[in-house]
Structure 1
């Protein structure tokens, strides 16, 4: 068996930390604890980068697309730029019409600290960050860890968080997946174990209501070609997983690579951008609908929707978001 080992490279004066096992090779950046590349051989033994990553490592300092980044303190949108918690109103830092992914103080834009990197049969990388009380408008001093582990043909993502006072926390990873290594995802097939969508308003903030997917173009419960979906609708929606089933799967017939995502989170944001602008990437040149984002998380606007799963984190408790990506050749 080939031994795992560590790559440490310099991209535009930014240190990048990487791990590898016999199946997968993961590259990361301390900015946003971001994943910058994920390599795997396809059915023809051609190496493919399964997530988009900027060619210029400096881009992760600002990261206009949140590419590969850890989003928070609260992933997704929060209405009215804030929430009330224990009788106090907290106004959040927002750089647009709604608070998105933590606003201008998002953890996606900040330098994280490398805590540990390990190589061996199950290599892993752990990043940590401290977020001070009222940073971005959120209460509580937070200590957060992001751990990426390679285990056989799987990538395990685990976010942990602790606070010294009551707060809200909701983290996610924002990879842009393309199992061809670039180009378009219109020929990918997708299947998601979700029978409801969160209804949203004109700003894409949840209204608190749910929409049944039966007999709608948003129904992804059976294997369906993404291009057949995208010719009718665009996807930037929160899917509520069915009870006991929290899974999403994508598959590329071109490469034979499939990816199955499982999580402990109640929902997943599915986003299929029409393009990625004029950026340069460590991938095959993007085409129309170049990627799909699968962002497992608690429901957006949970701080303002009491019937949503709670996003409250209390002192003494540990926040946990576990995401497993299983890759196979079919």
Structure 2
């Protein structure tokens, strides 16, 4: 396949609109497939230490399950990634209510988040540019938000994701990318070795909502400051792991300064030698160990069993609109939301 960006049809939405898939290819042969529906990354093909390529992203072969059954496989998330407690917040003295779609809480933008809308797509040189206008009141959020996402694939096997947004009224914004990875190309992810550059994580309650406490990772199953297998302590008798059914927590990244681009995480799969590094400007990264995958979903020749994929979602902290001690997530008119994350793939001998 020639380097560049190719466009092809992928399916038709129930309302008759056509969905396209864009294939980004670099000179090294790495390829990434992205839909204009949900900005979804459907495939990521990278080599192992012997040069054998495999698809390391969980996803589907067809459009329909992305519209109905997907647990956010590969999707862009907005207007607010992660949970907002009871779907409520107060901003500038006004109370807002959002759809509740995760127990008692609002999750990942609601019942019709950015993962389930058709983005306007165009190719700009080496970038796939996606745009979406979220109307005032959509999913309960105030203000008209114009969001832009730029995807590119570097020659260093790095997927670059650049977000920007502007609004005409103050509104919470927390955009992220929600790919599920399996660097072995199949099986579970418990043997993957993870490093997270985080001295603390956001403690949660039984409803997976932050308590407001940033808990020290030292001496806990959450200490990934040195690489260790994801499965090493995932079943430990730990209250926080019990709440999440495993890891489903936002880690507080060690950053020299706000908005600095730092390496947040490194994952190595020892059998294939594949390595994934995440670099981000965000203050946190949600690490999710696929605890709710149960074998009921199938795609691309795989059955997505328990803990067969992991997520590293760069983002601000959950429930920040209700947590005054957390970094700000309110975008105001005249300001521009901008953030960048990079997913870099390599191999170790």
TM-score in terms of structure 1 length: 0.94
Distance 1:292-1:143 versus aligned 2 partners, 3 A rule: same
1:1-330 paired onto structure 2 within 5 Å: 3-13=2-12, 14-23=19-28, 24-96=30-102, 97-114=104-121, 116-118=122-124, 123-152=126-155, 153-232=157-236, 233=241, 234-244=246-256, 246-274=263-291, 275-282=293-300, 284-330=302-348
Structure 2 SS opposite 1:56 = coil
> How far, CA to CA, are the matches of 2:346 and 2:62 in structure 1?
30
Whole-angstrom distance in 2 between the partners of 1:87 and 1:288: 43
CA displacement, residues 120-165 of structure 1 (integer Å, 9 cap, x when unaligned): xxx2211110000011111110100111111112110111111011
- RMSD over equivalenced CA pairs, Å: 1.7
CA separation in 1, counterparts of 2:272 and 2:200?
A: 31
The Cα offsets for residues 76-120 of structure 1, whole Å up to 9 and x where unpaired, read as 111131111111111112224101111113111111111x2145x
- The separation in 2 between residues aligned to 1:105 and 1:287, in whole angstroms, is 26
Cα drift, residue 293 of structure 1? 0.5
Q: Is the 8 A contact 1:71 1:102 kept in 2?
A: yes
Q: Describe the superposition over 1:211-252 as per-residue Cα deviations: whole angstroms up to 9, x where unpaired.
A: 111101111111101121324251111111123255111011
Structure 1 residues 254 and 286: alpha-carbon distance in aligned structure 2, compared to 1, 3 A threshold? farther
C-alpha distance in structure 2 between counterparts of 1:26 and 1:124, whole Å: 12
Aligned residues: 325
Contact 2:83 2:108 in 1 (8 A): yes
CA contact (8 A) 1:93 1:105 kept: no
Structure 2 portions without partners, runs of 5+: 13-18, 257-261
List runs of 5+ in structure 1 lacking aligned partners. none
Distance 1:166 1:38, change over 3 A: same
What's the CA shift for 1:3? 5.0
C-alpha contact (below 8 Å) 1:42/1:256 kept by paired residues: yes
Q: Secondary structure at the match of 1:289?
A: coil
User: How many angstroms apart in 2 are the aligned matches of 1:276 and 1:117?
Assistant: 37
CA distance 1:196–1:69, shift in 2 (3 Å): same
